[in-house]
Structure 1
């Protein structure tokens, strides 16, 4: 009798909680907590990315966009696109007739991206819209492509976000996610763990004055689904020809899927 009650309570707790880094929190609280992290780091976000990855994140992002298949005239949704770095890389591909919507749940990040895109001369070819990836404010079959770079791991319900991407893609449209993943080499994995947990939070404290936020970012990477698991989630969302490409030994991976 007690065993059954405990099992039921455990199941209810699992349904009602999610991870925030290595902590379990109420699902309803994660969005607010993630928002606080990115509001805190918004102004230093790209500088910190350079520091954390020794600039390699720029190579990953250029490859991500360069292999996207996005072309002139496309309408693209860039989710978690806050600071505009992915959108800027897309602009030569979509040409004068294309359009990018930069979507992010965090307004502070969007403010940085909006200013950056205007300063780069892209007025009229983009817009910034605050949104939740789990409930996209668009009709079915709207976009030719959807990109999401280093944002999916911060979403509370990742499967729902992938379901929404599939819904708003046009038939034949492509969803692409660039995200940290599982390092395959054992020695490289140990070095990566040491750097991530011992060095990166200290860099965060030194550069941004915010050790806790960067501790969360490191932990969120480790809690993110690995390559095969995320591929299966793309397939569960109804996408076809799902695949992934490892970069830097699996430190990051690009996942791709098509709406049929």
Structure 2
């Protein structure tokens, strides 16, 4: 729940202006082990989720893409393959350490061409109106303090005919999956974080932040409220993850 002065940080209520600092601390802590932890947490399935999200974006050669909360650059790499030499991808993140890690890894892969980097807050994007053919935010919207403001900002920088793609952990569609997922999230995941990333609390926060994220239908409505049209979502892995897509008409 978000009020005028407070918002949630996991299951805790904190001051609105404090959340950005707390989230920054989480990702500063896990940046170097982020990719390894993603593989361990999802048994590698996150790579499939990301490829499906990119396919649903319908990004084509020559287009311009904004990869928000792009972190270590997995989606930027996939978008780079699609837009080709005539297109451009902007890897953006609010966290300097994550952005630095992503930039270094993309350069190491020889993918410096046609990729720009920007440290930005999704709630107030510093780009002109109608700039991008696609704006994607993967596993990042749940960490944004004002999600409605972020969706409006994404809509503003999107070209007419462009797409917003939100790939995010969501809510299981059946009770059995929900119970198994809850046990894993609150009993196993923090222990993996402790042993691999040396940070149990950050991964406990990640589990809590997923539970506080809007359910699929609610997020779809939020996207429509931001001005996006033809909004729809696609559940994956029994709703543990969902891809939401909306268009600027």
C-alpha distance in 2 between matches for 1:147 and 1:53: 20
Counterpart selection for 1:224 from 213, 216, 237: 213
Equivalent position SS for 1:67: helix
C-alpha distance in 1 between matches for 2:22 and 2:243: 26
Residue 18 (structure 2) aligns with? 29
C-alpha distance in 1 between matches for 2:133 and 2:98: 24
TM-score by length of 2: 0.98
May I ask how many residue pairs the two structures share in their alignment? 249
Residue 242 (structure 2) aligns with? 253
Report the CA distance between 1:122 and its aligned residue: 1.6
C-alpha distance in 2 between matches for 1:193 and 1:66: 29
Counterpart selection for 1:163 from 145, 148, 152: 152
Residue 81 (structure 1) aligns with? 70
4+ long deviations beyond 4 Å: none
Report the CA distance between 1:90 and its aligned residue: 1.2
**2:59 aligned with 1:56, yes or no?**
no
**Structure 1 spans left out of the alignment, 5+ residues:** 1-10
TM-score by length of 1: 0.94
1:191-206 pair list within 5 angstroms:
191-206=180-195
Comparing 152-161 with 54-63, which one deviates more in the overlay?
54-63
C-alpha distance in 1 between matches for 2:195 and 2:184: 15
Report the CA distance between 1:92 and its aligned residue: 1.5
Residue 6 (structure 1) aligns with? none
**2:123 aligned with 1:139, yes or no?**
no
Output one character per residue of 1:142-192: Cα deviation in whole Å (capped at 9) or x when no partner: 101101100000000000000000000011110000001110110110010
**2:137 aligned with 1:151, yes or no?**
no
Which of 1 and 2 has greater Rg? 1
Residue 243 (structure 1) aligns with? 232
Report the CA distance between 1:87 and its aligned residue: 0.4
Residue 7 (structure 1) aligns with? none
